[in-house]
Structure 1
């Protein structure tokens, strides 16, 4: 190591490699942080950035077009970002999939649990529904989007006009489960001879609705 380098470091004139690289960045530090915050928030709300949209926003902040490899250097500077395809999330469902709604649910759950001095595991149930596109649906194009590494579930708001079948399942914290049920779109009924007909529901869209949800509770869950 050169003597001048050691002397400069001792006198505080030598800056770290990270600080030196900031001077080479095409975005000001404030703009860089704003872009990172936007990318993280967009991923959390189901509208993640692709590499093209990231470069587009960076260009808007800079006032001129950034290079084609800007996204690669941006990723390297911010390891909190990860790239993933993202599971598709219907726009109608996305309205109820946000931090405020989720926090409110867990606040109410904690209050309910405290009020009843702890709810037994066998009385705690999780009901979920999974939509399946007939024939497997359209294959994705392999594009990936930016999400925070702290984000466990990566969703991307997307709407496909393909016929759906909804599968209903329900499992308790004690490990018990109900029989799976199916919601089919109205129309020609497929061969269901191997299934109990009371577990089959028909709706106009193939999704559940309030009426069929009430039927499911009475006919499947409560018994």
Structure 2
């Protein structure tokens, strides 16, 4: 029969009396038999309790009538002994002692069960909080730290705590668990910003740009998306060298063959309007003449230009605007946003063409050094286009009969031009830049507040002396960044 008493109550209860029909007198068995020491009883043999032998069946009844131990390990031990004695089957032992049948089955066969032992943490909670604070503060101050920094810090701090040699190393497991314990931190791709350009984008310059956009909006130049244009040029590679590949472990050098010249770049000018209309791209080659072979397969879907350097100049840009852009303008009022390249800003021939045109064209030059935050083509278009183009070049390395070279570059770029999804991206770029629809808040989001001086002194250095040298590097970098 099962008792409702707890183990602690059973230990202090009066001795339990058991009467065997073959024994004429009562034998008092100590209550300790029914405590944790009951696990030590050997089933199938005789034990001496108060000088009297007890059969296996007798002991079995004693143990089975006991309140089950609270500890899982004790119940599992009783189940194992019950099965090994031959008195209970695996299923009956698991049911009687309330342990999982599968776990009992694995225990009998020597299969390891349960969770692995808890890993000891390298650092205390306060030390890890400091590391988190340091990483976040540095990111806020414009000098985000990478994994290489942690690989230097972890062994130094571990050494200061006299840890065993095996635990001093920086491991992938510790790094993964550290990020789990500190969800405020995540690994992100940093966006390089020139300190000089960041300092130039002051509150005054930001407010001045918002004022300029407000004036354009008041004049009706930002009402019709079909009349809001942006053009920008970028360099495209004709070959891509893959950096991370799969290879046999231990190989020191993995060869990756590519076609063409990895240093050869071709200038491509692209653009469109806020309504999502994308014009033919301008592909600029260097040389005095353009070979007819470079036009093959383009189906007149691109505008081919050439000059002696292969870099955008006044004449090439003006020709493209005159022959390709102005004829495609349909809005009553048009505005063209351009960066401060010399072929745009100081191109009197281009400005003259805009003035002579009956399209009512206004040219606006974006703030110096801020095109990465304010120019639609830079914000949303060229990033995805370049990534897609690099992927395409990697795929072409797997085709031995086909290669991308300077001679057939135009054909390949035209074939993939519609796959770049530039129409949707340029519309998104105008929205993000705050140009169309006109949104001063979007311009404000592109502005990064200057770093206050007190942030540098807020960095804690009291937890471990090993951080001092690293913090000095951080402090110097922060001081350089202060506005």
1:188-213: CA deviation from partner (whole Å, max 9, x where unpaired): 956223356x9223356644355543
Match of 2:210 among 80, 94, 107: 107
Q: What SS does the aligned partner of 2:176 have? A: helix
1:62–1:79 Cα change, 3 Å: same
Matched, 1:51 2:156: no
Change in Cα spacing, 1:206 to 1:121, as seen in structure 2 (3 Å) is same
CA distance in 2: counterparts of 1:81 and 1:101, whole angstroms: 28
The change in CA–CA distance for 1:98 and 1:220 in structure 2 (over 3 A counts) is farther
Correspondence 1:218 to 2:322: yes
Deviation of 1:220 after TM superposition, in Å, equals: 2.5
- What 5-or-longer segments of structure 1 have no aligned partner? 1-20, 143-160
Structure 1 residues 121 and 184: alpha-carbon distance in aligned structure 2, compared to 1, 3 A threshold: same
Q: Please name the residue that 2:187 is paired with.
A: 82
Structure with greater helix share of residues = 2
Render the CA deviation track for 1:80-126: whole Å, top value 9, x for unaligned.
52345x79x8xxx9679859659849635632443324611111123
TM-score by length of 2: 0.28
Contact 2:155–2:169, Cα closer than 8 Å, also in 1: no
- Whether the aligned pair in 1 keeps the contact of 2:221 and 2:227 (CA below 8 Å) is no
Name the counterpart of 1:154.
none
Higher relative contact order (CA 8 A, sep 6+): 1
Match among 264, 288, 304 for residue 200 of structure 1: 304
Q: Distance in 2 between matches of 1:179 and 1:108?
A: 32
The alpha-carbon distance between structure 1 residues 41 and 187, as it changes in their structure 2 partners (threshold 3 A), is farther
- Aligned pairs for 1:68-217 (under 5 A) are 68-69=171-172, 71-76=175-180, 77-83=182-188, 101=201, 104=206, 107=210, 110-117=213-220, 119=222, 120-135=224-239, 137-141=240-244, 162-186=263-287, 191-194=293-296, 195=298, 199-202=303-306, 206-209=310-313, 212-217=316-321
The alpha-carbon distance between structure 1 residues 34 and 138, as it changes in their structure 2 partners (threshold 3 A), is same
Contact 1:42 1:49 in 2 (8 A): no
Q: How many residues align?
A: 174
Note if 1:33 corresponds to 2:137.
no
Contact 2:154 2:170 in 1 (8 A): no
Say if 1:134 and 1:163, in contact at 8 Å, map to a contact too: yes
Q: Taking structure 1 as reference, are residues 109 and 125 closer, same or farther at Cα in structure 2, changes over 3 Å only?
A: farther
CA distance in 2, matches of 1:37, 1:108: 33
CA distance in 2, matches of 1:82, 1:54: 12
Name the larger-Rg structure.
2
Deviation sequence 1:167-191 (CA, Å, 0-9, x none): 2221212232321111234489562
Residues 184, 141 of structure 1: CA spacing in aligned structure 2 closer, same or farther, 3 A cutoff?
A: farther
Q: Give the alignment's TM-score, normalised by structure 1.
A: 0.52
RMSD of aligned alpha carbons? 4.7
2:279 is paired with a residue of what secondary structure? coil
CA distance in 2: counterparts of 1:167 and 1:25, whole angstroms: 53
Unaligned runs of 5+ in 2: 1-121, 160-167, 246-261, 328-483
